[in-house]
């Protein structure tokens, strides 16, 4: 296996053409910078695997293009949504209701939620697990975790809004 070119030499030699290519793809200065930097990060992690040092330029441009395509796929699957745009989808809870809630009430209400929804809600909100980690723990698909969280939170919201379901005050 040939020795890998020096990292700083590669950056000096290919940063500008890689950035120009990235800019042509993203049409955005910040996106082009991020994509170029990500390409060099991948090189730092995997560049030593390149067997033919004469193909460094091709490898870098191919990697940049693949990173661009991957970022576009992620963007389509997990679009960025501004909070103001999603406000209509969020449950409405009055500030008075929030200020009156305490941990005991929430746990009492959670205990009344169907068992199938309890685990995802508890893992997400009480244990700070990600959707992916919850899917692994419960051995269910990621979409199932999301739907159970949504349904569980809906039921929890109903229970918390209903004064009859609250535990007696001590």
Report pLDDT digits (tens) over 9-52: 999 999 999 999 999 999 999 999 999 999 999 999 998 888 88
Q: Is the pTM of this model over 0.85?
A: no
Report pLDDT digits (tens) over 49-100: 888 888 999 999 999 999 999 998 888 887 777 767 766 766 666 666 655 5
Q: Is residue 111 part of a domain?
A: yes
Q: Identify the domain containing residue 113 by its residue range.
A: 84-165
- Count how many domains the chain has: 2
CATH of the domain at 148: 1.10.10.10
Regarding whether 99 and 155 lie in a shared domain, the answer is: yes
Q: How large is the greatest C-alpha to C-alpha distance in the chain, in angstroms?
A: 76
Q: Is 160 exposed, middle or buried (0-12, 13-18, 19+ CB in 10 A)?
A: buried
Q: Is residue 161 part of a domain?
A: yes
Regarding whether 161 and 91 lie in a shared domain, the answer is: yes
């Amino acid at each position: 296996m040939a020795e890998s070119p020096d990292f700083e030499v590669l950056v000096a030699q290919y940063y500008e053409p890689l950035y120009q290519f990235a800019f042509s793809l993203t049409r955005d200065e910040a996106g082009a910078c991020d994509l170029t930097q990500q390409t060099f990060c991948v090189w730092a992690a995997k560049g030593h695997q390149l067997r033919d040092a004469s193909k460094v330029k091709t490898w870098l441009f191919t990697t940049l293009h693949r990173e661009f395509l991957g970022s576009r796929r992620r963007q389509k699957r997990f679009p960025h949504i501004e909070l103001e745009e999603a406000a209509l989808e969020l449950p409405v809870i009055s500030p008075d209701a929030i200020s009156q809630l305490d941990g005991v009430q929430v746990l009492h209400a959670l205990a009344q939620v169907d068992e199938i929804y309890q685990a995802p809600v508890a893992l997400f909100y009480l244990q700070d697990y990600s959707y992916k980690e919850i899917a692994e723990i419960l051995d269910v698909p990621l979409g199932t975790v999301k739907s159970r969280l949504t349904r569980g939170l809906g039921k929890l919201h109903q229970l918390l809004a209903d004064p009859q379901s609250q535990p007696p005050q001590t």
